[in-house]
Structure 1
Amino acid sequence: MPVRSPHRRVAGNLGRAWVLHRTAILRGAGVVALLALAGLAYELRGPLAAGAAFMGDMAQARFADAGMAIGEISISGQTLTSEQDIFDALGIQPHTATTSFDVEAARQRIAALPAIDSVTVRKTYPGDVIVTVTEKVPVARWRVDGITFVVDATGAQIGEDGGAYGELPLVVGDGANDDALVMIRALDQYPELKTDLVALSRIADRRWDLIYDTGLRVQLPELGVARALRNLALYQSHYQLLDRDVTIIDLRVAHLVALRPAKTEADLEADRKAAEAALKRQLASSRPYPLPPPAHLSLPSQTTLTQ
């Protein structure tokens, strides 16, 4: 028998392999081809993305030139939210085509704004976009660090007070926003206590003070606020306590009312003279001693009423 050449032996082996394993070979070749295409697409991802964006811009320009560009935007329902913030959230650029404008994506961006409770976005052909928003309901103004915010029932900030919500109660201090609604609802039961009320001050995030325009401060307890308000309403009804010449009404101790009367002109003059005399004595003394408290820090005697 003649001896076969090496080339014929290799060809014969390949032929047998193709006959016996043709399916596996085809599958492997397909996998290799897909991997090669994926690698090529990864390497060309930048140019491909740029090309896709260019084609999209070209399509938008074509639609815009055909009279399908967004030309009018109608926004309604906003008070705390500025029109500029809503417009920015829409994401509409010059020559944006109505056909390519994503209504749902724009709606989600607007809904994420702090004061927005719900929003609808509609587009009408050939080039109108209509935005209708419903904002959260403000319940109080909260002043902290010199800035006044408007807060909702949960205490969340929904915008700065631009002067449009001056009728809302004013709460002051750290943590006042979180408990504002509870205190406001408690005061609503006693309208007579809200006359000339300027602010509700949160003290150490534990209790409340009522501050009136006369400078009167009513100190409420940490616990038993409802009882203290009820008693204060009775004192006002029977004794006009809020109209008296006092600077502090202390209700922090149950069954006890402590009053701090306002200083008269004679009291202020006496305090001033006492401070001047003390200063003269100290300057004349060879052994200095601490000065007494200034006149404006001296505490007058308290008048205490028991229930």
Structure 2
Amino acid sequence: MDGGGRNLGPLSGAGPAGDRGVLARLSGLSRPLLDRLARRSFPSRRLRGSIPIAQRLPRLLGPLGIASAFGTLALTGFVASGRYEAFIAENGRPLDILARLAGFGVERVTISGISRLYEHEVLDAAGIDARSSVVFLDVREARERLMQVPLIASVSVRKIYPNEILITQVEREPAALWQRNGELSVIAADGTVIDEMRDDRYAALPLVVGENANLRLKDYLGLIEAAGPLAERVKAGTYVSGRRWTLKLDGVDIRLPETGAQEALARLVRLERNNRLLEKDIIAIDLRMPDRVVVRLTEEAAAARLESQKKKPKAKGTDT
């Protein structure tokens, strides 16, 4: 009994009788009212975390992740095995391959100002070959690589779309060959080494030998000029002890003084004109003393001269 004298009965029962009692009391309520009561008594609390992860992720994400993982492993193995480097060496970089397929491969390279370098030397230095593409060629890097070639004084690299590269260069002028410690180098007029002697393209250049001979190249060229008609016969000049020159003429050493070398050469020119001195059996002419000329005979000529002196009759003496 409640305060109003009504018997409500149990709201819940332990068995079917209890359930029937509750249903009997609620059966008189309208359906909309029942729905509102249900929502107030049992509010919806569907949390995001309660949704299975398989329903929240895109359906293809799982297969794509697996494929990506296998692709990464395959690429790592491809690179680690060295096959990637071999592929690049044979076909070029992937971006260059795509650019070539799109019609931007390097089909022509125009080199302006080339004189003593060979075309393949310029292309190798610039890093340009059939695997390159105009689109992805780094002209700044190509120029820096070309500037490392000693014979190149200045250079520019331009792209001409779709298929051409233009290289404009200025080469240093080689003036002579310099031999030191058995090695030959090509030098400019100021003595700067600009190339190595690798073939016969520089064979006609003057040759200087010895320590710091490259820095005295101007003096040596002046001696060749002073030699006049003998200049073509000068094969090389050796800078001796950092003080004087010895010239090599057709196998004959011409030893010049430390000072007055050009005047000494003028004396040699006169001797050759009047006495044909260089045609005799000699291996050296010493011009270091201003008042005399000292010659050194070949071994055969020296032996013959000694033998001839032995055969000369001795002068008769007087008895005392």
* TM-score between the two structures when normalised by the length of structure 1: 0.59
Using the alignment, how far apart are the partners of 1:124 and 1:168 within structure 2?
38
Extract unaligned runs of 5+ from structure 2.
1-92, 308-320
Which whole-Å CA distance do the structure 2 matches of 1:96 and 1:247 have between them? 58
Query: 2:146 — aligned with what?
Result: 110
Deviations 1:45-96 (A, max 9, x none): xxxxxxxxxxxx8876654442223333344554554545433442447765
Kindly provide the CA deviation profile for residues 15-55 of structure 1, in whole angstroms up to 9, marking residues without a partner as x.
Answer: xxxxxxxxxxxxxxxxxxxxxxxxxxxxxxxxxxxxxxxxx
What corresponds to 1:128 in structure 2?
164
The answer to whether the 8 A contact 1:139-1:181 is kept is: no
What is aligned with 2:289? 253
Contact 1:151 1:159 survives alignment (8 Å): yes
Q: Counterpart amino acid of 1:147? A: E
Which letter maps to 1:109? Answer: R
1:164 aligns with 2:194: no
- 2:226/2:265 contact within 8 Å kept: no
Alignment of 1:137-156 (within 5 A): 137-156=173-192
After TM superposition, the structure 1 = structure 2 runs for residues 53-68 of structure 1, keeping only pairs within 5 Å, are: 63-68=99-104
1:174 aligns with 2:221: no
Determine the structure 1 residue equivalent to 2:228. Answer: 191
- Aligned partner of residue 199 in structure 1, secondary structure: strand
Cα deviation, residue 139, structure 1: 1.5
State the aligned residue count.
Answer: 214
**Contact conserved, 2:224 with 2:234, CA < 8 A, in 1?**
no
Distance 1:163 1:61, change over 3 A: closer
Larger radius of gyration: 2
Counterpart Cα distance in 1 of 2:302 and 2:142: 68
Once the two structures are overlaid, the 10-residue window that deviates more, 258-267 or 109-118, is 258-267
Q: In the alignment, residue 216 of structure 2 is paired with which amino acid?
A: D
Verify the 8 A CA contact 2:107 2:130 in the aligned structure 1: no
| Alpha-carbon distance between aligned partners in 2 of 1:153 and 1:75, rounded to the nearest angstrom | 25
In structure 2, C-alpha distance between the alignment counterparts of 1:183 and 1:61, rounded to whole Å: 55
What is aligned with 2:237?
200
Higher RCO (C-alpha 8 Å, min separation 6): 1
Instruction: Specify the code of the residue in structure 2 equivalent to 1:160.
Output: E
Which of residues 243, 248, 251 is equivalent to 1:211? 248
How does the TM-score come out when normalised to structure 2? 0.57
Q: Is the 8 A contact 1:150 1:160 kept in 2?
A: yes
Letter of the aligned partner of 1:176 in structure 2? A
Aligned residues with identical type, % of pairs:
32
Query: 2 CA distance for matches of 1:198 and 1:220?
Result: 15
Mark the CA change 1:189 to 1:223 in structure 2 (over 3 Å): closer, same or farther.
closer
Q: Could you say what secondary structure the match of 1:194 adopts?
A: helix
What displacement does 1:188 show? 1.6
Does the 8 Å contact 1:148/1:160 carry over to 2? yes
* Higher mean displacement: 134-143 or 237-246: 237-246
Q: Distance in 1 between matches of 2:291 and 2:241?
A: 23
Structure 1: runs of 5 or more not aligned: 1-56, 272-307
Letter in 2 for 1:187: I
CA, structure 1 residues 135+202, in 2 after alignment: closer, same or farther (shift >3 Å)? Answer: same
Which runs of structure 2 are paired with 1:1-307 in the superposition (5 Å)? 63-75=99-111, 77-78=113-114, 80-92=116-128, 96-161=132-197, 162-213=199-250, 215-264=251-300, 267=303
In 1, are the aligned partners of 2:282 and 2:295 still within 8 Å (CA)? yes
Give the drift of 1:208.
0.9
Work out the CA distance in 1 between the residues paired with 2:286 and 2:107. Answer: 63
